[in-house]
Amino acid sequence: MPPDGRVRVRFWGTRGSIPVAMTSAEVRRKLIAALMHAAGRTLDTPEKATAFLEREVDFAISHTFGGNSSCVQIAAGSNDFVLCDMGSGARVFGNDVLATRGPAGHTFHVFMSHLHWDHIMGFPFFVPAYSVANHVRIYGCHAGLEAAFRGQHAAPFFPVDFSGLSARIEFVRLQPGRDYEIAGLRVRAKLQRHGGDSYGYRFQKDERIVVYSTDAEHKQDDLAEVQGFVEFFRNADLVIFDSQYSLAEATSIKEDWGHSSNIVGLELCQRAHAKRLCLYHHEPLSDDERIGALLAETRRLEEITRGDRRVEILAAYDGMEIAL
Amino acid sequence: MDLMLKRYADTVVLTPMGRIDHSTSEDFKAALAPYMARCARGLDRILLDFVSVEYISSVGLRVLMLASKQAKGQGGSIGVASLQPAVREIFDITRFTMVLDVFPSVREGLARLSPPALAAFDAA
């Protein structure tokens, strides 16, 4: 349990559609940009260099948003682990659990938005699933939940069959619109518009509310649908939102591709009185500079459209932690 | 939503007012519809004068996108002109400047859409 009793959200994978890796050319561009910022300064200790990078260089130059696909951890007072999705970020999460909490004796509760490959691909590399003393409960609303996980372990896709996983693994089918109490959280799923359907999750711990809503397209002229999401996001402390496309893309050439935009996320959060919007499921074509610009633009849009409440805008990156 | 109308030769300049958001977008769409039916090859071109639009949300922008698709499908032309600074920023951030024809002024919009309309505008 977090020692201060706050709900903590940690992002292990934030990229949409497919994992990406920074190229050598991108690393070089960052280094050149940082060195040019540093021209004329004396950065002769690690402390000075760190302070310089943190305070004076844009995040998009000094860091990276990362490239693992969807996986988010919610730590809210239980010794059990709670995750959303099993993208490639789940591999990093599993390794971190091994390093910090040991290899066995853990229970994992995993809430699946849907079963597309980028959301399940981390599971074969999720090392805790190979330990007999661990327990993995995988929740979802899709009928094919178990078959999808078993299928990606089958030949020729992976050398270890699902039956070779030693952990106790259960699949639990949830009904959207119904409240469940799981791992100390009240959880409710909501159907979303996406190829083959996806589901968002609203997690509540005491007064703290986190909404995980990825891989969802929103038809803004369907007023009933919009109002349904406003209620789903109502008073959330944090909304994690699929902002893969620009609004222009999402309403033109990429209409019906199943994703949304920063603009729609902001409007829903404003109407729902949500406190924070976290841009998530980043477009794989976007480099750090582009995602940084998207964040700045969304903050600017929030500023010029703000009513009597402010929505804090964040852009998720692999390794980011938010305390609520 | 009432649209103020001025005609310059083969081009209709329509002027919406106020906010185009979830509470007004359907009215905006309905007000635009009769003009869209005539926005076709050999008929009218449409220029939306946004000088009095204070704000447009995603649903309002979607109305513009659908209008643009309809116009293109009919061989017609539609543009937007005279955006207020905040609305211009919204167009930039949403990338709608990349998918719609946006002009700094009505005159410049008419110049691009229709030389006869520009001549009529200058003569008025």
User: How many domains does the structure of chain B reveal?
Assistant: 1
- What are the φ/ψ torsions at residue B3 (nearest 5 degrees)? -110, 120
| Under 8 Å between Cβ of A46 and A74 | no
Task: Identify any residues that bridge with B49 across adjacent strands, giving them in sequence order.
Answer: B81
Taking only the tens place, the pLDDT of each residue in A239-268 is 999 999 999 999 999 999 999 999 999 999
pLDDT of residue A90: 98
Instruction: Decide the pairing of beta strands A8-13 and A71-75.
Output: antiparallel
Instruction: Decide the pairing of beta strands A81-84 and A71-75.
Output: antiparallel
- Are A247 and B57 in contact (CB < 8 Å)? no
Residue A290 Cα, gap to closest chain B Cα (Å):
12
Domains and CATH numbers, chain A: 8-22+64-323 (3.60.15.10), 25-60 (no CATH)
| Residue B122 domain-assigned (yes or no) | no
With H, G, I as helix, E, B as strand and everything else as coil, classify residue A87.
Answer: coil
Residue in B27, B56, B59 to test binding to A, most A beta-carbons within 10 Å: B59
Taking contacts as CB-CB distances below 8 angstroms, the residues of chain B near A285 are none
| Residue B85 domain-assigned (yes or no) | yes
Q: Which domain holds residue B54?
A: 4-112
ipTM value of the model?
0.88
| Residue B120 domain-assigned (yes or no) | no
CATH code: domain of residue B102: 3.30.750.24
| Residue B119 domain-assigned (yes or no) | no
| Residue B123 domain-assigned (yes or no) | no
| Residue B29 domain-assigned (yes or no) | yes
Nearest to A264 by CA among B82, B90, B85, B38: B90
* B35 CB neighbour count, 10 Å cutoff: 17
Biggest alpha carbon–alpha carbon distance for chain A: 61
User: What is the rounded CA–CA span in Å between residue B82 and residue A32?
Assistant: 41
Determine the angle formed by the axes of helices B58-73 and B25-37, rounding to 10 degrees. 10
Mean pLDDT over the full length of chain A = 96
Burial track A76-88 (b if 16+ CB lie within 10 A, e otherwise): bbbebbbbbbbbb
- When pLDDT is averaged across residues A214-219 and rounded to a whole number, the result is 97
Total-model pTM: 0.94
- When pLDDT is averaged across residues A274-303 and rounded to a whole number, the result is 97
User: What is the rounded CA–CA span in Å between residue A103 and residue A100?
Assistant: 9
- Reported as a pLDDT band with limits 50, 70 and 90, residue A119 is very high
CA-CA-CA-CA dihedral for A283, A310, A264, B101, to nearest 10? -90
